Chain A
Amino acid sequence: MPQGLERVIAVVNGKGGVGKTTISANIGGMLAASGYRVLLVDMDPQGNLAEELGYTGTDINDDGMALAQTLVFGSPAQPAVGIRENLDVLVGGSHLDMAAAGLTMKSQKDPMAAKTALAKALEPMAADYDMVFIDCPPGQETLQQAALAASRWALIPVKTDASSRKGLRDVARRLDAVVDINPDLDLLGVVLFGVNRSAKRVSETAREAIREDLGADAPVFDSMIRHAEAAAQESRERGLLAFELEEAVLAAPKWWELRRGAGQHDGPRSKSAVGVAEDFQGLGEEIVARITASESTSQVSAAGTGEK
């Protein structure tokens, strides 16, 4: 694993709509708000990270043009700086479709160069960040491979339905293609996304099914991200992350204040934002704890074997 890429996390699943972008944005944004320096890499040609973070339609959004050039021609990566405090983004979008085509052509001549395109781009800059999250596309094999080749960890969101579990198989296949050049890639964990909190048996069955596939010691996160349609819609409409929406909801005037004419309110109203923000906070804490535990174990092992 190249120096500096030890904290790169690919948020990946072969299936769409399982929460990859929402998790990348919210965990990245929350860690940035906590003081971590975070880089988000949007490798998805759909570019939905822009909606999550609210920079759609701004000058920042080049629809993935710069990132595509970096991947295909090797030009230095130029993150959009300061999307939030401590949060930079390599912006994705439809130009990544062309990048995928370019990388596929490149891979016919030099497979290694295509797979390591993102790793090479991140290498000079990754050490400037405490965490790097890559929002992977659901399809686009070449882009997924490039993301996994650049990552130390894979974070896999799944829904409780069986079809999103099938996405695990696709990730395993992508892993096979890059494990020779990135043997350090490991599963950080599987997180259940879009869970109905009242259907406990459904989420437990899904957990069991994941353990059945991955083994009894499978790293399944205790934290789950609940399904809250109103909060999700309001988040995207306003370009606010869950914890930002939570803050806005809690700061809004109370109904009795509005009733007596003590204030006006056209801000967010989704009370469920509070629960969603708590879920993301729990997941963020688990992610940090797992990486910290892994790093301290590696340090002790390296010290024991005299490695430096």
Chain B
Amino acid sequence: MTSGSTRRTLGGLTPKVPKQAGIDRLIKANRPDPSAAAGNAVQYERPAPSDNQLEITRETQQDTNSVTNKVPKYLQLKRREARIYDEQADALTVLARQINNQRKQPDGKTTGERITDNTLLRVAIDLLLERKEEIRGTTEQEIAANLGLEPRYLG
């Protein structure tokens, strides 16, 4: 060991035990609904929220941990699978976590509802559909470029 060298800072080092991806499927609510039919066409029209959905939204805003006798939100939504880039998945998880951290109030309580990757994906779909007139192109890269985004390429 050389003396007098600057000691390396520990900040920013990767933790020894990184987050274990996919473990959250141990919780039933985090797993895809097996009864939902796969392969249905994408619903482009946003369905009007039912009274039941509105009630759930109000309820979750008050207390995220309350036991409700309503059908869980995830069971009322259609399941769609999508293949996305690794960086997108990572960034989405980080963003969801940041938003969830902001839900914590100074008194230690948590407000709002749990924000998941799927929550953000639903909002992103609506954002995209709001701008559907601007969607032009014959490839993913062209569509992205026409929306002012940096095109992504695999590999």
Contacts and interface: CB of A to CB of B under 8 A. Distances in A.
Given A183-B34, A213-B19, 12 more contacts: A154-B26, A172-B22, A175-B25, A176-B25, A184-B28, A213-B23, A213-B24, A214-B23, A214-B26, A217-B27, A297-B67, A304-B69
Nearest to A293: B67
| Nearest 7 CB-CB pairings of A with B | A186-B28, A300-B69, A162-B17, A213-B23, A187-B26, A215-B24, A213-B20
A27 to B, nearest CB: 19
27 contacts: A162-B16, A165-B20, A168-B26, A169-B20, A172-B22, A172-B23, A172-B25, A175-B26, A180-B34, A183-B28, A186-B27, A186-B28, A212-B19, A214-B26, A214-B27, A215-B24, A215-B30, A215-B114, A216-B114, A217-B64, A217-B65, A218-B27, A219-B27, A293-B67, A297-B67, A297-B68, A300-B69
Interface residues of B, number: 25
Main secondary structure of the interface of B (DSSP, over half): loop
Contact of A165 (B17, B65, B68, B114): B17
Interface in B1-60: 16-17, 19-20, 22-31, 34
B100 interface: yes
Main secondary structure of the interface of A (DSSP, over half): helix
Residue from B16, B27, B68, B116 having most chain A Cβ neighbours under 10 A: B27
A169 B23 CA distance: 6
A185 interface: yes
Contacts of B64: 217
B25 A216 contact: no
A10 B80 CA distance: 31
A187 B17 contact: no
Contacts of A154: 26
A157 to B, nearest CB: 14
Contacts of A300: 69
Residue from B24, B67, B114 having most chain A Cβ neighbours under 10 A: B24
Contacts of A209: 17
